[in-house]
Structure 1
Amino acid sequence: MGKRKKSLSVVKKKGNNFIELGKAWFDWGDIYHFLLTISWASFFSLIIFAYLILNGIFAIAYMSVSEGINNVRPNSFLDAFSFSVQTMATIGYGAMYPESLPAHTLVAIEVFIGLLGLAMITSLMFVRFSRPTARVLFSKVAVICPYNGVPTLMFRVANLRNNWIVEAQVRVSLLMPDTTTTEGYTMRHLVDLSLVRSQTPFLALTWMIMHPINSNSPLFSINQEEFLREDYQIFITLMGFDGTLSQTIHGRHIYFNQDIIWDHHFVDVVRITPDGNRYIDDAKFHDILPV
């Protein structure tokens, strides 16, 4: 079993994505999770690479067997590779066939490996397609502006699918800067932020998440300069039930200190058509204006 040489150390932002530095890219002990989380392009590239390598290995094995495959040109890797492809896929055109016992043994082994590979790839494809995912859009920035006379941290989310996220719940936590205990240990801790509304019966269009910065808020005594100077981060997790699949879905996002814009508010994105229907103006979802 492979061992990770590094552990999670820090989360950094690169463009619109987040990377975890210090974590091993691959672990043989967790290959199933690796195959489920890589991109589709990487997944198919890996399958094609493994398919070519396996057929190449068996082609070399067939070439090393004397009087192994009938109707194969002597020392022809292409013919042996073609026979391996036919055998692994159990096609069996009949033009080439094994003659000796070692060749029959290799054919049996390759057919068995081909059946196992087909079953594994089929199951992985099914899991990747059936895995519930949330198409939740988080605003690129969060803002701090007055709301009913109280400074309020705000950001918004939207459901990108044409269905409902039922019983949606959101949790917002503030990652505080490093602190040193009396024993000399350096630690960071998360503080949950209270929200004006932390759940909604259904999320169909957009939802403005708001945290009032009052005397009970850990942000109450922090000014803009200190917030930008220290390594504050805001972690958001959203959970709900997909209204179509009836499965639990999750969404997550991180706002770093430079992503928090002070004294700005979001542009209204909800529009009403003449027949009374509501829709979101996606072009202005991330737009903000000075207070």
Structure 2
Amino acid sequence: MSALRRKFGEDYQVVNTNRGTSYTAPVKKKRQRFVEKNGRCNVQHGNLGGETSRYISDLFTTLVDLKWRWNLLIFILTYTIAWLVMASMWWIIAYIRGDLNHGHDQSYTPCVANVYNFPSAFLFFIETEATIGYGYRYITEKCPEGIILFLFQSLLGSIVDAFLIGCMFIKMSQPKKRAETLMFSQDAVISQRDGKLCLMFRVGNLRNSHMVSAQIRCKLIKSRQTPEGEFLPLDQCELDVGFGTGADQLFLVSPLTICHEINPKSPFFDLSQRSLTNEQFEIVVILEGIVETTGMTCQARTSYTEDEVLWGHRFLPVMSLEEGFFRVDYSQFHNTFEVPTPLYSVKEYEEKTSLPSPGGHAHAGGGARAAGPGLLGGLHRHHRGAGGEAAQQAAADELREGGPPAQGAEDGPAARRQGLQHGRPAAQAPARGLRPRPRRRRGAAAAPGPQAQLRAPDPVHRGPAEAQSGGACPGPRPSSR
């Protein structure tokens, strides 16, 4: 299927030209970015006024930062003007001394031999400046002003060469081109990793040479308003990509997936799939490292807007094991696939898990967080009434009233049947291991209740003889009074 792509300013439209079919894709509005996908910052400085003189004070950096076409133009113009000026000075010396009138007089000794017009003076300067060597034209010893001009020309030529050639060398050896071989995934994804909701993107290195001390950083660019009413149009917030664990230090020999965990400290704590479509933000990614071959610091940048963040996706694997080496398939570098992912935010999940259960029992020990791995564990888990302060208080009240404390569901079917015989369902039994002793009168014998029939008392309440025989707990000991 062939397609004709037409550009209309900042918007584009794809038109299908197949016969018998007609389809027009919706017009895509261009998103105003702070940092372009290629890393160029979309910022222009204006109304500098008198501050433009600062660029002249740092002339070398100004020339290096210029585009190549301006550098080449300045390079050619500087050398051309310098050559013409110095050739004119040699011609002026020959004109003042009258050497031009004795150009072919063999008995006359000029300042520069065989210089009798401007072209010959220009050729003499080029032979001197380029150290080609003297042949037909040379300086004589009877011209002190020519010797002084020769020294000045040598010093000026060395300065111009050092400045312009050094500028061109620095510009050619800049590590910006090294950043062209550092890749970022076209989109970022939000899915679960290790049971936690994470924002992820992929980076890769196309060259075999390594990036020494590679480090990744992420900035969230988003407008916000402070409680005092101040509006911050481009507020920058740091995204944690493993600062505490060292995950931000990369060994970039193969594509890596950078992960930002969405937790209460993350600015995406309340981000859900529905709110993602209404948000406006930009994630700026900065990858820095030292080029192994040159030792210079290289920086690669890119950004992801809210429409480039895919909810419920994961990157396709690109590594495969071949015979004796690992192979990276960069054709799958940008591809993703859908995975089951909760549609709500981490904040909504924590609010749901912190609410009490319908039975009135609170979630003990942090609720679902202790029972399952993070957000995924809470999707398919039913909370059990494990008991708490309310269950303990209910068991103590029943024991004070003389009721038999039946065992919970953990004690098995026999315990549940025993609890039903005494007129109370087993689901209301107190938690296992909570057996407060009932109060009794002083001197009265303790009758063995259903609790003693179900299980033997704890060994800490037995005497030496009962501990050996395993009998029931005897009556109260006689008072010492």
The 5 A counterparts of 1:153-232 are: 153-180=199-226, 182=228, 184=230, 186=232, 188-195=234-241, 198-200=247-249, 202-223=251-272, 231-232=280-281
Q: 1:154 to 1:101 in 2, by over 3 A?
A: same
Shift of 1:253: 1.4
Query: What amino acid is aligned across from residue 85 of structure 1 in structure 2?
Result: I
Unaligned ranges ≥5, structure 2: 1-31, 47-51, 100-110, 340-481
CA–CA separation in structure 2 for the residues paired with 1:49 and 1:266: 52
Match of 1:51 among 79, 83, 96: 79
Who is 2:40 aligned against?
18
1:288 to partner: Cα distance: 3.5
SS at match of 1:50: helix
Q: Which residue of 2 aligns with 1:64?
A: 92
Q: 2:321 aligns with which of 272, 282, 287?
A: 272
Q: Which letter maps to 1:106? A: L
User: How far apart are the structure 2 equivalents of 1:97 and 1:227?
Assistant: 79
What's the CA shift for 1:158?
A: 1.4
Deviation at 1:209, TM superposition (A): 0.3
Q: State the Cα distance separating 1:224 from its structure 2 match.
A: 6.0
Change beyond 3 A, Cα 1:271–1:171: same
**1:261 is the counterpart of 2:309:** yes
Letter in 1 for 2:125: S
Q: Report the AA paired with residue 49 of structure 1.
A: L
Contact 1:228 1:257 in 2 (8 A): no
CA displacement at 1:54 relative to structure 2: 1.1
Q: Distance in 2 between matches of 1:258 and 1:73?
A: 74
- Cα separation, 1, equivalents of 2:129 and 2:150: 8
Deviation at 1:216, TM superposition (A): 2.9
Structure 1 residue 81: Cα displacement: 2.9
Q: Per-residue deviation at 1:51?
A: 1.5
Is 2:95 the partner of 1:30? no
2: CA distance between counterparts of 1:109 and 1:194? 59
Relative to its length, the structure with more strand (as a share) is: 1
Conserved? CA contact 2:187–2:304, under 8 Å: no
Task: Give me the whole-angstrom Cα distance separating, in 1, the residues matched to 2:288 and 2:192.
Answer: 28
- TM-score using structure 1 length: 0.75
SS in 2 for 1:268: coil
Question: RMSD across aligned C-alpha pairs, in angstroms?
Answer: 3.7
Cα deviation for residue 137 of structure 1 reads: 2.2
Q: Distance in 1 between matches of 2:272 and 2:88?
A: 70
| Structure of greater Rg | 2
TM-score (norm 2): 0.48
The change in CA–CA distance for 1:46 and 1:272 in structure 2 (over 3 A counts) is: farther
- AA of the residue aligned to 1:21: V
Aligned to 2:155: 112
After superposing the two structures, state which structure 1 stretch, 148-157 or 94-103, moved more.
94-103
Q: CA deviation at 1:142?
A: 2.2
Residue of structure 2 in register with 1:3 after alignment = none
Residues 158-212 of structure 1 deviation map (CA, whole Å, 9 limit, x = unaligned): 1233133344332222122143562646464322222256234622111110112
1:230 offset after TM fit, Å?
Answer: 5.5
Task: After TM superposition, list the pairs within 5 Å mapping 1:229-248 onto structure 2.
Answer: 231-242=280-291, 247=295
8 A Cα contact 2:187 2:310, kept in partner: no
Alignment correspondent of 1:93:
134
Identity of aligned residues (%): 27
Q: Select 2:121's aligned residue among 77, 80, 88.
A: 80
Q: Take 1:15 and 1:174, find their aligned partners in 2: how far apart are those partners?
A: 15
Change (3 A) 1:240 1:18: closer
Q: Give the counterpart letter for 2:282 in structure 1.
A: Q
Aligned pair count reads 278
Between the aligned partners of 2:261 and 2:274, the Cα distance in structure 1 is 19
Letter of the 1:113 counterpart? L
Asked whether the equivalents of residues 321 and 327 of structure 2 are also in contact (C-alpha less than 8 Å), the reply is yes
What is the one-letter code of the residue matched to 2:248? Answer: Q
Q: 1:174 to 1:185 in 2, by over 3 A?
A: closer
Deviates more, 1:46-55 or 1:97-106: 97-106
The Cα of 1:219 is off from its aligned counterpart by 1.4
After superposition, give the CA deviation of every residue in 1:21-57 in whole Å (9 maximum; x if it has no partner).
3338992222232344456676555433322221122
Residue identity in the other structure for 2:56: W
In structure 2, do the counterparts of structure 1 residues 252 and 57 end up closer, same or farther at CA, with 3 Å as the change threshold? Answer: same
For residues 90 and 167 of structure 1, the distance between their equivalents in structure 2, rounded to whole angstroms, comes to 45
Distance in structure 2 (CA, Å) of the matches to 1:80 and 1:145 = 75
What secondary structure, in the 3-state scheme, does the structure 2 residue paired with 1:97 have? coil
